[in-house]
Amino acid sequence: MDLNEAQGAIVRLMQDANAQFHKVPGSAIVLRYIKSSYQHDPVRSAIELLLFLFAIRYLLAPSYSVQRERVKLTEEEIDELVEDWTPEPLVGAPTAFEELENEKRPVLVGPTGPKSKLSNGRTVTNLASYNFYNFVANELLKEKAIQTLRTYGVGPCGPPGFYGTQDVHMKTEADVAAHLGTAACIIYAQSFSTISSVIPSFSKRGDIIVADRAVNYAIRKGIQISRSTVRWFEHNDMQDLERVLKKVVSEQAKKPLTRRFIVTEGLFENMGDVVDLPKLIELKLKYKFRLILDETWSYGVLGRTGRGVTEAQNVDATNVDMIIGSLSGPLCAAGGFCAGTEEVVEHQRISSASYTYSAALPALLSTTASETIALLQEQPEILTALRENIKTMRAQLDPRSDWVKCTSALDNPIMLLVLKPEVIASKSLSPADQNQVLQDVVDECLANNILITRLKQMPAPLGVPERNHGWQPQPALKVCVTSGLTKKETEKAGTVIRHAITKVVARRK
Amino acid sequence: MPFDDKEARRRRSSSLVYTEPPESLEQLSDQSALPNLNAQWVNAKGAWVIHFVLIVLAKILFDIIPGVSQETSWTLTNISYMFGSYLMFHYVRGVPFDFNAGAYDNLNMWEQIDNGDQYTPAKKFLLSVPIALFLISTHYTHYDLTYFIINTMATIAVIIPKLPAFHRIRIGIFSGPPDDS
């Protein structure tokens, strides 16, 4: 009785379910599919069923994160941590040496020039500015700049790709390209950020940069931003460069092709010496690397008309893939440039951060750059005059001083004077001691109305122990020769510097 | 320290199977610099619909080629979908755009989806589509053994790399593990 009832209920339920199922749209298709799918092939059906069940299982599985579990903190713990936290200063507290340096720092009043007026009323011979050709005092340039200012206003107030480009910028680009003999050129608004933006616009994570150990701070920043793999070679050692290139090529032989670059400087900011460009070109062609050459300190300085290392060492500028130079300093304008092929330049217009995101160069500086480049080309005697002064200054210092030697190249107006190794050894001077001694020399020179400066250490990253700071230049005096002084004045200044060095270093025990 | 740079790529030259190690701190910060637009779109509704649209279009395309039977046309639809999805989700690595300074260069798209989380709705959908397509195409190939074997192999090839157990696993038969020093 009960059983019958139950059976009847079940049958009814089944019939209802069946009827309901048939009402569902598409049920006939599913039924037909299931009926026809068996086909006397149990293995195949089993695979299909298995796959179906796997899909069901996957769909029903709860999602989970593969991220590392974060530590859960209570409100009190968070408050406690916030209470405990003391912010690190953005800039570390000045050291005793830096305090002293700040105290004695000379302050210029009025325009800079070969003879500058200090805030204490004295007039000094300025050998601490990059005013090599004394274009600062050139009335013609000043007149042109004022004219441009009246026409164009102060700044374009927009990035080059966004209403910032003016006809004067395009003219300056053409002028630089024509001067160097490259196909194209791009102008940046700031010299420091030119190379640190050019490198990451070409070299990315996974690409390889082979760089000189002594490259300047801007290049280091560029390499860091680019996230590329970097290999260093010994400073200006072409054999070591070849060894590194060989190693990179053999390591990369079986891997997907990556971009490879050699990054070095024309005149080294930290050493003052010059690169061996013909050998470098030979190696880059042999091992199929691209060459990024930072001519920040050599453009406008080396060569018969100031074209830089390429002119001085008789290398066609088109052999260098990217030439980076500066329009500030000796050229009396501002900003930097990168010259290369049409493709190299056009690539940067959209993908080089400091070009795309920074306001364009003020028009008056752009015209000034064009003017000074024209001056250098039309009157190579400007450069010869400077070289005469360099020779005069060098004669007073390098072979004649018992205490220092000049690491700079013969044509480099920035003369870096380091203490001779035997002096350092006999007096056992640490780098900090050397800085102290050289600062004393700078002070002594200033007392004799000659303004020179020291080569500054590269800023150390915060929170990194001193032994991990990496390569640092040897402490050096920096004497910037200018053609704004006569030969006689330069000679006199050189003598003063030599005597100051002798006085300070000999006194030091 | 798993975040240590040295550990970020370790060598296991003796083994064919290589697990992609966790990212270094620098890579992690680059990854989070911008949302990963390369993987985010799979969560959009249109991205789900487009699978069906593409399958139907492929079917139509193979149908209008003269001389192609229904069985071949379904099999071609199936393997072309499987091939396309394998290429897209499991073969190509990194991000085609320069959003994250190449911080995703070692991960394929499947591993980038939802930051590598497992069993998320998008992944469930992307796994069930090939299984459903496989069941349908075996049905319409009338359970012919040859077509069945071809379709099964194609399907297995896209399902295995989707399994959570194969997350960040690289199998190198011809190429050894990447070494980076």
CA angle A485, A486, A489 (to 5 degrees): 80
Per the DSSP assignment, residues forming a β-bridge with A212 are: A233
From chain A, the residues in CB contact with B167 under 8 A are 66
A200 close to A226: Cβ distance less than 8 angstroms: yes
Q: Is the pLDDT of residue B180 over 70?
A: no
Range A382-389 average pLDDT: 94
How far, in Å, CA of A55 to CA of A150, rounded?
Answer: 75
A54 touches chain B (CB under 8 A): yes
Domain span including residue B39 = 17-171
Query: Number of CB pairs < 8 Å for A and B?
Result: 69
Domain spans, chain A: 96-135+381-507, 138-378
Do the Cβ atoms of B27 and B8 come closer than 8 Å? yes
Beta strands in A208-362 (DSSP E): 208-212, 229-233, 260-265, 290-294, 322-326, 336-340
The full DSSP string for A420-460 is -HHHHHHHT--HHHHHHHHHHHHHHHHHTTEE-EEPPPPPP
For A413-470, the pLDDT digits (tens) are 999 999 999 999 999 899 889 999 999 999 999 999 999 999 988 887 766 777 777 8
Does the distance separating the beta carbons of B119 and A61 come in below 8 Å?
Answer: yes
The answer to whether residue B12 sits within a structural domain is no
Confidence of residue A42 (pLDDT cuts 50, 70, 90): confident
Weakest-pLDDT range from A235-249, B2-16, B146-160? B2-16
Q: Within 10 Å of residue B26's Cβ, how many Cβ atoms?
A: 16
Q: What is the pLDDT of residues A395-408, one digit of tens each?
A: 999 888 889 999 99
C-alpha–C-alpha distance, residues A291 and A58, integer Å? 53
Distance CA A96, CA A436 (A): 11
Give B178's pLDDT tier (boundaries 50, 70, 90).
low
Buried b (16+ CB within 10 A) or exposed e, A287-310: bebbbbbbbbbbbbbbbebbbbbb
Which residue(s) pair with B76 in the sheet?
none
Instruction: Report the residue of B26, B36, B139 to disrupt the A interface, i.e. the one with the largest count of A CBs within 10 Å.
Output: B139
**Distance between first and last Cα of chain B:** 18
Which of A49, A56, A58 should we substitute to test contact with B (largest number of B Cβ atoms within 10 Å)? A58
> Which residues of chain A does B178 touch, with a Cβ-Cβ cutoff of 8 Å?
255
Element (H, E) at A390: helix A381-397
Q: In 3D, which of A319, A333, A323 has the Cα closest to residue A373? A: A333
CATH number of A96-135+381-507: 3.90.1150.10
Domain count across chain B = 1
**pLDDT number for residue B14:** 53
pLDDT of residue B5: 44
Q: Do B116 and A54 lie within an 8 Å CB cutoff?
A: no
Q: Do A204 and B98 touch (CB under 8 A)?
A: yes
Chain A contact present for B152, CB below 8 A: yes
Which residues have a Cβ under 8 Å from the Cβ of A15 and sit 6 or more positions away?
none
| Among A429, A376, A368, A372, CA closest to A404 | A429
For A112-126, the pLDDT digits (tens) are 899 999 998 999 999
Mapped onto helix, strand or coil, the DSSP state of residue A209 is strand
**Domain assignment present for B179:** no
Assembly ipTM: 0.84
> Is the pLDDT reported for residue A18 higher than 50?
yes
B96–chain A Cβ distance below 8 A for any pair? no
* Higher-scoring residue by pLDDT: B10, A95: A95
Mean predicted confidence (pLDDT) in A316-324: 95
User: In the structure encoding, which two tokens stand for residue A371, read together?
Assistant: 């003017």
pLDDT digits (tens, 9 = 90+) for B103-143: 898 899 999 998 888 999 999 999 999 999 999 998 888 88
- Residue B68 is assigned to a structural domain of this protein: yes
**C-beta atoms of B131 and A59 within 8 A:** no
- Report yes or no on B10 lying in a domain: no
**Are A449 and A495 in contact, with CB atoms under 8 Å apart?**
no
Query: What is the per-residue pLDDT for B124?
Result: 93
The helix/strand/coil state of A325 is strand
pLDDT of residue B8 exceeding 50, the answer is: no
Amino acid (1-letter code) at residue A71: V
For A215-253, the pLDDT digits (tens) are 999 999 999 999 999 999 999 999 999 999 999 999 888
Could A37 and B143 be called an inter-chain contact, meaning their C-beta atoms sit closer than 8 Å?
Answer: yes
User: B139 touching A, CB under 8 A?
Assistant: yes
| CATH match for A138-378 among 3.40.220.10, 3.30.2130.10, 3.40.190.10, 3.40.640.10 | 3.40.640.10
